[in-house]
Every structure is written in structure tokens, then in C-alpha cells.
Chains A and B, each alone.
Chain A
């Protein structure tokens, strides 16, 4: 096979592959946002079973490698009778992963709301839904923004593992181009630079918000 040089067109192919990384991150983040909210609510629930289940779910996903989670979903879907589809497997695995991590982050944020708020809401006769919707979650979300953006950086980096199960996103595209051009220094340097451009602004944003929101709430 002819080895072609690493030029502008190869550079652009890699940069354009970032759209799949962004798409996968967006799906996992959106799905994980919904799942994470349920996990967080179950985790702070008054009844025992939802709390135990949510704790178990979080423990499993935080105590095992993301790569294994991807493999299990990938091969597990096959067992359940779905055709092997790296795109779907990566989306499902990363969504579950994000649900567990966001659930744990948001649990901390809900618990950070002073208990008096909850007691006052109950005393005013607010039921669970209204208490959460109007009293606890709005206050928790203020604290939650910074760590959530921080986790988004983790998630974007995590999507690179989808390359191992064969989904062609940024890292996999880099591997493909590297096989054709055999200039790994340039290829993986470019891939790393694209991830950096995606992640660094978010990291800076998360840090800024952390210092801003760590100031005490006005009372």
C-alpha cells in the first residue's frame, strides 16, 4: 500500500471527525442528565429501596473501568438480539456512565442545600414534587453548574474509548489516518490538539464558576 504524506486534507479529516465526538458527548450528556436526575432523586429519597438501588448503580459505574462498561454493553446488546452497532453501544454505555456520575454529583448538590429549606417547605405544606421543583432543585442547581461542566470534560475525553469498540470518532479517525500516512507524531498531536480545543475552554469555565459560586449566597 502506498503511504501518503500527512497534509492539509488529512488534517481536515481529523478535525471534521470531531463532530462525532461532539455528537456522542451531547447524546451521553443529555441522556445522562435525565438519568442522573432520577439517580440523584432516588439517592436522596426517603424510602430505602430507591436509595439502595441508586447507591448500587453509582458504586458499580464508579468502581469499574469505562472501557469494560463499553465492552459489556457492546457484547450485551448482541446477546439481547440487537445487531452489533458500535454507535448505539457507545451512546448507551456513555449515557449510563454519565447517569451514574451526574447522579452522584447532583446528590451532593441537593444535600448541600441547608436542611432548614426543606423543613420550611414541608412546614408550608409543599408536597414532594413542589418542594423539589421550587425549593430544593433551584438552589442545588446553583452549586451544581461548576462540577457538571467539569464532568462534561471527563465525558468528552471518555468518548475516545468508543474508538476501541470501533466507532469512528476523533481518536479512531486518527488511528485510520495514521495507518495510511504513518506519521503518528503529527496525527496524534493533531487529535490531542482537537480534544484540547474542545475541553480546555470548558475546564476554564468550570474553574471560573467554581470560584464565583463558592462565594456565600446572599441572604
Chain B
């Protein structure tokens, strides 16, 4: 019978907590930069300029139909031969941004397309300024529409980010790998780490739903 030994894991808990904090930082940075990429690409896609739309479509399809692990290998090992040398952490962030950007673009585009033209025209007719129209008529309902998809995409991003440990970037999974090879308590280490990921995804879902209730509580009228 196997004797579980959580002692070395608890001894290295501060290491794991630092790892968890790194994962949160990495995910948040990737989300913010990825959102910028998404908004730009969504704007490019809806702009109707044909070659631009093709390029963005190709980007989305390539990223969505290849594994993240291969993308990060390509960026970390492949790009240096083009002269772009990145640290493991830099490559990890770039890979996550590129990956999130492809999924985010589709989400944002759906949000923009959910605003009917008549609403903007109604805003103009009511004498709202361009900025007011953008803020109250386009952005607010569009954000409300895409919010659930964006938040679940963020959680997915955070879980995916564990893969960056494969190129020895710093995150929770990498902290686990280190602790595992130092203590040989592999199963115990990964049980604790898995629970930490679970806690983070449950925690973030809870935070997101509190924000949702506070920010989007005005009634929908259809």
C-alpha cells in the first residue's frame, strides 16, 4: 500500500504559492495584451478591407486548429532562426497573447455585430455625441454580450498557461516540476497543484460573476 507523504509538499508550499502568483500575473498580462490584439483584429475584420480580412482569418484558423504546445515550441525554438530570440518567459507570454488573440477576435467580433445599426441611428437622432454613442450604445451592450464568453476564455487561458512549463517558463506547473524533482513526491505535488488550479478557476469565476452582477445590472429591454 502506498503511503502518501504530503510533508515535503507542505514544506515547499511557499514555492508553489509564488508559482500560483506567477501564473495569475502571466494570465492577466496575456489577457490584457490579447484583448488589444483581439479588438484590433476584430476592427480589421469588420472593416471590410479584403486582404486584411484574409490575413486575420488565416491567423484565426491557424491558431485555432493547432495545439498550443506546438505554437509555443514554434515561437520559442523556431523564431530564433528568424533572428527573434526570446527568454522562456517572453516566449510564454507571446504564445499566450497570440493564442488568446485568435479566440478573442471571434468573441469581440460577435459583440460588435450584436449591435444593430438602428440603435446607433437612434442615438444620433437623440442628439448624442459620437463619444456618447460609442460609450453607451456600442461599448456597454457589446461588453455585456461578450462578457461571459470572455471570462470563460480567460479561465481557459489560465489553465492552458500550465503548458508554458514545457519550455521552462516560470509558473505554477513549473514550480511543481521543480518541487517534484526535488522531493520525488510526484503524485502529492501534482494533487496539490491541481487543487490550486481548481481553486484559482473557481475563485476567478466567482469574482467575474460578482463583477457581472454589479456592472450589468441594468435591465434588458427588447
Question: Which A residues are within 8 Å of any B CB, using their own CB?
Answer: 59-60, 63-69, 71-72, 75-76, 78-80, 153, 157-158, 160-161, 163-164, 171, 174-175, 178, 183-185, 187-189, 191-192, 195-196, 199-200, 203
Contacts and interface: CB of A to CB of B under 8 A. Distances in A.
Nearest to A184: B77
Interface string B59-93: 00110111111110110011111100000000000
B187 A160 contact: no
B191 interface: yes
A69 B77 CA distance: 26
A21 to B, nearest CB: 10
Contacts of A184: 73-74, 77-78, 80-81
A164 B69 contact: yes
Given A66-B159, A188-B77, A196 B62 contact: yes
Contacts of B80: 184
B190 A195 contact: no
B18 interface: no
B159 to A, nearest CB: 4
B163 interface: yes
A175 B67 CA distance: 14
A160 B70 contact: yes
B153 interface: no
Given A174-B73, A178-B77, A68 B194 contact: yes
A80 B2 CA distance: 8
A123 B71 CA distance: 54
Given A68-B190, A153-B65, A200-B61, A188 B198 contact: no
B12 to A, nearest CB: 16
Contacts of B64: 153, 199, 203
B197 A63 contact: yes
B74 A75 contact: no
A188 B78 CA distance: 7
Contacts of A199: 64-66
B198 A63 contact: yes
Chain B, interface size category, equals 35 or more
9 contacts: A63-B155, A64-B201, A65-B197, A78-B186, A80-B2, A163-B69, A178-B77, A184-B80, A188-B78
Q: Is the interface of A mostly helix, strand, loop or mixed?
A: helix
A206 to B, nearest CB: 11
Contacts, number: 116
Contacts of B198: 60, 63-64
A192 B190 contact: no
In the A-B complex, the 7 residue pairs with the smallest Cβ-Cβ separation, listed nearest first, are A184-B77, A160-B67, A199-B65, A65-B162, A157-B67, A63-B201, A188-B74
Given A63-B197, A64-B159, A171 B187 contact: no
Contacts of A163: 69
A95 to B, nearest CB: 17
Contacts of A187: 78
Nearest to A172: B69
A79 to B, nearest CB: 5
Given A171-B67, A174-B73, A185-B82, A68 B61 contact: no
A67 B173 contact: yes
Nearest to A68: B194
Nearest to B161: A65
Contacts of A69: 194
B203 to A, nearest CB: 10
B70 A195 contact: yes
Contact of B78 (A66, A79, A185): A185
